[in-house]
Amino acid sequence: MFFIGVGGAGLSAIARLMVQQGITVAGSDAADSAVLAALRAEGITCHVGHDAAHLAGVDTVIASTAVHDDNPEIVEAVRRGLRLWPRSAGLRSVMQGRRTIAVAGTHGKTTTSAMLSCALIAAGAAPSYAIGAEVASLGANARLGAGDLLVAEADESDGAFLVYEPEGAIVTNVEADHLDNYGTAEAYAAAFDEFIGNIGDFVVLNSDDDGAAALAARARQRGLDVVLAGFGEDAGLRGHALVVEGSVTTFTVSHHGVDLGQVRLAVPGAHYAVDALLALGAGIVLGQNVDLLIAGLAAYTGADRRMQLLGAAGGVRVYDSYAHHPTEIRADLAAARAIAGTDRLVVAYQSHLVSRTKIYGAEMGRELSAADRVFLADIYLAREVADPAVTPRLIADAVTGPEVTVAGPVATLAAALLPELHPGDLLLTLGAGDITKVGPEVLAALEARA
């Protein structure tokens, strides 16, 4: 089995599960990384760079969605008539023979998947899991457990989640995104409706989100056990007394009016409280001990690129997060503000995709207005091409309040930030592209000038 783009969060998870099943696994990626080093230590051959020769003796290839058709390994796989699978087919093969709980939604899939995995481990269920980020409290983004449960993050961006047939599912929210693939908000919502039709037993829905809650009727028609979780009156599993203070989030929880106790999370933000409620709901449906589930949630310490503290230097704290949609930006800035307190919040943002910037640029700018200082990097193109009519200026023009700097390439962003950072500041780098490299660069420079 050969993985093209094995260093990515999705493919590395599947590769780990397959090698743990005794399958011979190899892969390639464009650049070396800590993930590749970890995979090598686990018995996976990892090549840096792409070459047709890597496919010698290979019969099945799994390719990342970020890999283009002209990749030499793709070209060789097609030439030789090898099985060429998308990521979803690889994950589906891992699901066979396991009771899969698929976690879907526009936002919060990674956190909710990780929280559910931590909770089930604490409850003694020994689940397998495949998650879209490295998770410190789990040790990795994927592991093969001794139990029969599999927690799988189910990505909707390219429709991949529609090939799964899970026993149960969580839908965190449904808010139009990936319109470069779906075309319209209606088509995006319809995909989740179709997803509900593939579930076998139960679904946990975020009752605080209109898009997710709207799926309840369809789920009940299918005969599914439906759990509504949230902080509103419609929730059967309901959170109360939410407090976000510094880097800690606490709330109490009741199930149809019966008090279940207090949940304490080592991550900041109201959105994380909702994710925890959803994970708790799935654990309850699966018959796990509630007290142990809550203890497992408390053990969750965050995932890479989800309000991740990278370090501090020169009196500046540096966080990094994956947020790239206006709703995610709003949630992360609220969490960052809770951490910063009265200190200054400096945000460096890199928009992801021209198509998303065109649709949501003004909303992104409005949400970034919650910062004290804003820096904007060039748009991360990913699979798209540049459009001279769509630039970070669309975002900058919508920011009201803080000073905004359109800083250009990510490669020069750290240099632009350094003169503006002062002791006490909290720097938050945001975006789904390569802006993740900026935080470490800033920390190194701050340490050098101290």
Positions marked active-site: 109-110, 153
- Beta strands 258-265; 248-255: pairing state: antiparallel
Distances (CA, A) of 149 to 109, 125, 389: 17, 8, 48
Distances (CA, A) of 73 to 34, 50, 54: 23, 6, 7
Residue 102 CB neighbours (<10 A)? 26
Helix (H) or strand (E) holding 63: strand 60-63
* φ and ψ at residue 240, rounded to 5 degrees: -140, 160
Rounded-to-10 torsion of CA 291, 296, 301, 303: -130
Beta-bridge partners for 60: 83
What the block records as the tokens of 411 is 């490669």
Burial of 314 (0-12, 13-18, 19+ CB in 10 A): middle
Question: In the 3-class helix/strand/coil scheme, how is 152-181 assigned residue by residue?
Answer: EECCCCCCHHHHCCCCEEEECCCCCCCHHH
Whole-angstrom distance, CA of residue 342 vs CA of residue 137: 30
| Nearest to 67, CA basis, from 78, 53, 81 | 78
- Beta strands 316-321; 225-230: pairing state: unpaired
Beta-bridge partners for 318: 311, 427
Task: Count Cα neighbours of 39 within 13 Å in the Cβ-side half-sphere.
Answer: 34
- Beta strands 60-63; 142-143: pairing state: unpaired
Distances (CA, A) of 127 to 100, 114, 121, 246: 10, 11, 7, 31
Distances (CA, A) of 159 to 173, 182, 189, 206, 359: 16, 9, 11, 21, 20
C-alpha dihedral sign at 42, 47, 50, 54: negative
Whole-angstrom distance, CA of residue 91 vs CA of residue 160: 10
| Nearest to 118, CA basis, from 283, 304, 5 | 283
Please report where in the chains the tokens 């000073």 appear, as a residue: 403
